[in-house]
Structure 1
Amino acid sequence: MFGREKIEYKTAAQVQTMRRAGLVVADIHRTVREAMRPGVTTADLDDVAAATLAEAGATSSFLGYHGYPASICVSVNDEIVHGIPGPRVLGPGDVVSVDCGAVVDGWHGDAAFTTVLPDADPGDLALSDATEQAMWAGIAALAKGDRLGVVGDAVEDVVAASGTGYGIVQEYVGHGIGSAMHQPPEVLNYRTRDKGPRLRAGLCVAVEPMLTRGSRATQVLEDDWTVVTMDGQRAAHWEHTVAIGPEGVWVLTAPDGGAERLAALGVTIAPWEP
């Protein structure tokens, strides 16, 4: 089950259970999106997520993780990731990133999205769109490449093509996922000389670029969780859990398995049946 790099390679049956967890995450995204509007608090969104988890008979990957106190992370404006839900009231034009994970029968799914509330700054919309595009480009690269480093190459290429000079956050990256939420290997969002491990069936990873409208420099607030941009510029975060099977990739946290977005990039999904 474990290779020499201590990567957990899954069986088809285990990937099917991760797909169940992934669909719970997708349902949380749906219900949180429906609830999100100016005037609600970030704690309200956490309540919605907790109710969705309970209805599905799943548990949160986040709640209690190293003491984390909520079911989801809600990061607003200059908050990049790990924002703790609380009394903060969302307002018009806020950039809101929601990250959540679900556990089903011991197996995890993890995904994030960014929404810009009405009266949006066009620059914030462009930032979120570029971050989502970078994520899908990274996932498509997994289907076409031979080593994990293709993800970082793809993210950098999207940012370079945008001509915007977005910052690519480097301290927080994607990761392996399976019987634990965070596992080897790291999935970098930037190009390096080390191309990473070879891609092979059974590898499951979370691809999650985080981009900013300014510098990539970050700092952690006094709550020891919330990560913000040092220059106060806004940030976006997109993530999906992806399984590599014998015939290709399958996006476990997308309701359609990633079919629509990957088709536009020349990739056909390959659900892995036991």
Structure 2
Amino acid sequence: MGVPDQDRKLLAGWADRVIGYQDSDHAEAAADTSGLSALGRAAVAVRPRPEDLIRPDGRPVNPRSRAALADMFAYAHGLARRPAPGSVLARMVDGGLTEQEFETTFFLFAVAGNETLRNGVPGGLHTLLAHPEEYRRLRADPSRTPAVVEEMLRYWPPVIDFRRTVTHDVELGGQRLRRGDKVVVYHAAANRDPAVFADPDRFDPDRFDPGRSGSGRSGHEHVSFGDGPHFCLGAQLARVQMRAMVREVATGLPELEPAGEPVRLVSNFQNGLKSLPVRVR
């Protein structure tokens, strides 16, 4: 994206605010301006104050709205005025996007491009350490890494649910849906559907074929990356990153064990951990 190194912490901060708005550790976190570029400091200067995010009727402003993320969008436009050659942002600027399309795409790269993996990796590691027999099997045979990662994604989907808007009247599962209705898809439930996955509450990497991404031996796939036209654009990159992390944990580190209870992110959207204490055995 061409974001200067010293400004990268801004991306993590925006992701915390968007995804962790229900968690006081993230929703109220103060912006750290030390070491930022001039562009970064200018963006932080227009960050909305808490009192600016309360409507006249006392209800909070949507934390994912343009008003709540004025600093992120100010930064995006500032960066677009001098994009790094060859960066994704430069291609976006040259791609003829409307202002709304540009801002939405920057939002997706800045938030969805890091928060899901940031929750999927510790969640997967927590799951692995909670199943020491599978952890030992992986250490003995690192070639099982792809299958272990797919089962991690099924067992601990980083995204718990997604809401969609019905575009036309339709009947689904015996329920009549009207255009404009809201439908919530629960990835966590679909991934443990007993009609699809045998013994769904058991962590079992053997249910996935290590040679095919996302493909279960039964022919079914988990839905942690969505499905159809909304399938995650970053799925393959996320798999590469998770596999690298898991393989390094299995082969490059001493044996680990839990060292206390993990601290969960307060969210009904992201299945996240804020800390995961471990010790070397």
TM-score, shorter chain, exceeding 0.5: no
Q: TM-score, normalised by structure 2?
A: 0.30
More helix by share: 2
Higher RCO structure (Cα 8 Å, ≥6 apart): 1
* Structure showing greater Rg: 2
Q: Quick check: which one's strand share is greater?
A: 1
TM-score computed with the length of structure 1 as normaliser: 0.31
